[in-house]
Amino acid sequence: MAEAEAAQLKEEGNRHFQLQDYKAATKSYSQALKLTKDKALLATLYRNRAACGLKMESYAQAASDASRAIDINSADIKALYRRCQALEHLGKLDQAFKDVQRCATLEPRNQNFQETLRRLNTSIQEQLRVQFSTDSRVQTMFEILLNENSEADKREKAANNLIVLGCEEAGAERIFQSNGVALLLQLMNTQRPELLLAAVRTLSGMCSGHRARATSILHAVRIDRICSLMALENEEMSLAVCNLLQAIIDSLSGEDKREHRGKEEALVLDTKKDLKQITSHLLDMLVSKKVSGQGRDQALNLLNKNVPRKDLSIHDNSRTIYVVDNGLRKILKVVGQVPDLPSCLPLTDNTRMLASILINKLYDDLRCDPERDHFRKICEEYITSKFDPQDMDKNVNAIQTVSGILQGPFDLGNQLLGMKGVMEMMVALCGSEREADQLVAVEALIHASTKLSRATFIITNGVTLLKQIYKTTKNEKIKIRTLVGLCKLGSAGGSDYGLRQFAEGSTEKLAKQCRKWLCNTAIDTRTRRWAVEGLAYLTLDADVKDDFVQDIPALQAMFELAKTSDKTILYSVANTLVNCTNSYDVKEVVPELVQLAKFSKQHVPEEHPKDKKDFVDLRVKRLLKAGVISALACMVKADSAILTDQTKELLARVFLALCDNPKDRGTIVAQGGGKALIPLALEGTDVGKVKAAHGLAKIAAVSNPDIAFPGERVYEVVRPLVSLLDTQRDGLQNYEALLGLTNLSGRSDKLRQKIFKEKALPDIENYMFENHDQLRQAATECMCNMVLNKEVQERFLADGNDRLKLVVLLCGEDDHKLQNAAAGALAMLTAAHKKLCLKMTEVTTQWLEILQRLCLHDQLSVQHRGLVIAHNLLSSDAELARKLVESELLEILTVVGKQEPDEKRAAVVQTARECLIKCMDYGFIKPVS
């Protein structure tokens, strides 16, 4: 009964629909839906109610009813089209398009469907164009950001999108053209940290690589405002503003290395005035009390990065001269700050070290003695002006300044120590009752005793005083620094076992105390780092370093300190590790000179028994077990200003010592040592780069490059390895670089291409002429892989060179490893080009004899390669094949081909038989029945 009533209601609804009474029709269909369970009827009722919804403009309801009909019958074409119409009115064009696309698939000839499909496609494209047009995106983002009622997550998303857009050239230009700089200034005026940060980061992207835009933004925002933002007590903000200023400086100075065309070049004529203004404001920041410690650090970072020349071959050092004349006194003021005095500027743990590094870089950037004399005079005048018998704070500042300079340019620092009253003032301050004075004096004495002559003066005048302070002071900061002073004086003799400043066992006691301080986590990080400073000196003693590497908690405490934000510790940690691994330079002892020195009663350096190789190897094992690689990898990532070239060199020395044993290289790779070595091989001192490159060569020689240097990093390894192929490098460096390049060139043609582009081929060829057997073998093995590259093959094909002749002659050498490599290269060359097969017969009269020797070789790998060469020659030319058949080679091939092909000889026998088959194909020989 219910089903019949439902059918009746459906018919009633249809009549209402025809009379355009859609409300009544909807009511009839709804009543019918409650009475039936028949799926076909349900689908019809939903579909019909959807049609009513469309007529009454109830599009959401229409879409819902059509969807229910489609759920029952997915091929219901009327329901699909009605849902398409409803979705189109709701603005969901992409969903509507999918429905009409399905309709057109079911009825391809329906013109109505095809027309709707075209219309929707056009509408979608227009919507996307408007939605994704840069103008629209910029407008929308600024509306959200400047509307105080916007939701937090929307505002955050808009800010991030704006930053991304600013980093794209098209987006940056559109923001700029759309009055974006003024809107960004409005964002900055809101004083809301997240909006301020987004504005700064967007401006940074807009300035990158565009000189005109950078100039305009600099003038619009103003350098004083930029610097005031960098001065805030907010690390994230300070860093973001530093990046903005760096982007501006790079664009103005042309460091961005991008091409500029047309208007871009014409818009900005001279940027020197703006660059000078930026430098001037950065120098002013150094001495302003309103600047936070973070801000001061970022100002120093920018000066460190942009003022001294990056390449000393560039003649112009005017930026450095300007800073020396207008800012050296300001930098000296930062260096001379004493944190415990009330007049101290806001500082971080790294500030004074960054200032010392800047002084060092400026001093190194000077070109002549008059410039250096001028620099020294400014320092002397500044220090002298601080000496005041009536004001002890000024005296302390003066000694602190000397102490800071001693951490920068050592030569200048030592000259300043010679000034009247400086050393005496240091010793006098040690006896002061004020703890701040003692603290500064002890630190100054530590830095002053870098040279043995200075240390001797202090041993005579200050050791008793230091011991007295150590015993009487209750201040841990002074106590540990005093201990470090005693450590440094105790190690003034360096690694010379015969030059001991203190009594037997004293250095071990000092080191034990340092290790105790180091492991005490209750002490602040800044104070604990002085324990590492002490160990950096004491580990010159072999007994101390041997005890230290056995103290795993102390080692791991040092590694954890190296990973903290206080990066002033890096040099001390690196020095300690250099001492523990004995990776410092040791002068070669010539026995005759030793005898001469003894005869003339001169001191002869002595080696400690625990500095012999067995002990060093054991120490390396313990360091690796304690996790030294992860600490080194973390240190390499430090800020470029703190990680000086000298520190990089020390780290490179340590890595090289750790890589010495091939068995340890897997551990080093697993802990990220391969990746960490790459930047050390590309930047730093010449010695450091060579050491790091040698370490890379050792790893590349035995490791899977895909694991040791994952991704694109493997291509960065090529240049350091090629740099070792130099006559100025020693034989071991040449040899291991060749092994590394052999391994890399065997991985892919892209790597072979990279090696070729680095112009390594002539160097590899040179080592193939080398008298040293191992070098010649390594170079030939490398060439064996390189000949797979088409450009290398073209070099062999070119007329007027002896490359192929060299390879053929190397096949005739007595060393089977060398023969194997040369035969491999020749086999691949002759397989690649028929011309080289013919050329082989012309380069030397011995070619046939050499080929026959290869085919008779007792080493199966060499014999196989010889037979492959024979097969290549036979396949290349009928006349050449005839010549070979008429020689003794046919007999050799016959003998080898008749052998039983056991597991070891299968490839050899098979290749010989293929040669004989080739001869039969030519008709030169006939098979024996």
Tokens 């019949």 correspond to what residue? 4
Q: By the 8 A CB rule, do 733 and 746 touch?
A: no
78 touches 66 (CB < 8 A): no
Our measurement of the distance from residue 149's CA atom to the centroid of its chain's CA atoms, rounded to an integer in Å, reads 43
User: Cα separation of 386 and 376, whole Å?
Assistant: 16
Mark 674-710 as b/e (b = at least 16 C-beta within 10 Å): bbbbbbbbeebeeebbbbbbbbbbbbbbbbebeebbe
Neighbours of 244 (CB within 10 A): 27
The 10 Å Cβ neighbour count of residue 365 is: 19
Instruction: State the pLDDT at residue 260.
Output: 44
Q: How far is CA 215 from the centre of its chain?
A: 30
Tokens of 792: 């290398």
Residue type at position 804: L
Type of residue at 414: N
User: CA-CA distances (angstroms) from residue 743 to 233, 660, 721?
Assistant: 51, 18, 12
Alpha helices in 610-663 (DSSP H): 613-626, 628-636, 645-658
Q: How far apart are CA 285 and CA 281, in angstroms?
A: 6
Per-residue model confidence (pLDDT) at position 268: 47
Alpha helices in 627-746 (DSSP H): 628-636, 645-658, 665-670, 673-682, 686-702, 705-708, 713-723, 731-745
Query: Are the C-beta atoms of 358 and 300 separated by less than 8 Å?
Result: yes
Q: Give the pLDDT of residue 130.
A: 53
Selection from 385, 278, 294, 268 nearest residue 346 by Cα: 294
pLDDT along the chain (929 residues), means of 10: 82 89 90 86 89 90 90 88 90 87 87 88 74 60 74 76 80 80 82 84 88 90 92 89 92 64 47 91 94 93 90 86 94 90 88 90 91 93 86 86 86 82 79 80 74 55 71 78 72 46 66 87 81 84 89 91 81 91 72 56 62 88 91 84 85 92 89 89 90 93 87 89 89 92 92 92 89 90 92 89 90 89 93 90 90 91 93 90 89 88 87 91 77
Q: Which residues contact 275 (CB under 8 A, 6 or more apart)?
A: 249, 252, 253, 319
Distance between CA 417 and CA 411 in Å, rounded?
10
Q: How far apart are CA 839 and CA 833, in angstroms?
A: 10
Tell me the pLDDT tens digit for each residue of 679-730.
Answer: 999 888 889 999 999 999 999 998 888 888 888 888 999 999 999 998 888 8
> Residue 865: phi, psi to the nearest 5?
-65, -35
Is the separation of the CB atoms in 36 and 45 below 8 Å? yes
* In contact, 79 and 50? CB cutoff 8 Å: yes
CA angle 306, 312, 317 (to 5 degrees): 55
Rounded to the nearest 10°, the torsion over CA 295, 301, 304, 305 is -130
**Three-class secondary structure of residue 48 per DSSP:** helix
Inter-residue contact 386 to 405 (CB < 8 Å) = no
pTM over 0.85: no
Task: Find the helix or strand (DSSP H, E) in which 502 lies.
Answer: none
Considering only CA atoms, which of 471, 469, 451, 463 is closest in space to residue 487?
Answer: 463
Going 228 to 233 to 236 to 238, the CA torsion angle's sign is positive
The token pair at 699 is 């790893």
Q: Quote the distance between the C-alpha of residue 295 and its chain's center.
A: 25
Q: What is the DSSP string of 898-924?
A: TS---TTTHHHHHHHHHHHHHHHHHTS
Q: Residue 257: what pLDDT? A: 46
Residue-wise DSSP of 525-583: HHHHHHHHHHHHHHTTSHHHHHHHHH-HHHHHHHHHHHTSS-GGGHHHHHHHHHHHHT-
Instruction: Round to whole Å and give the CA distance between 82 and 57.
Output: 12
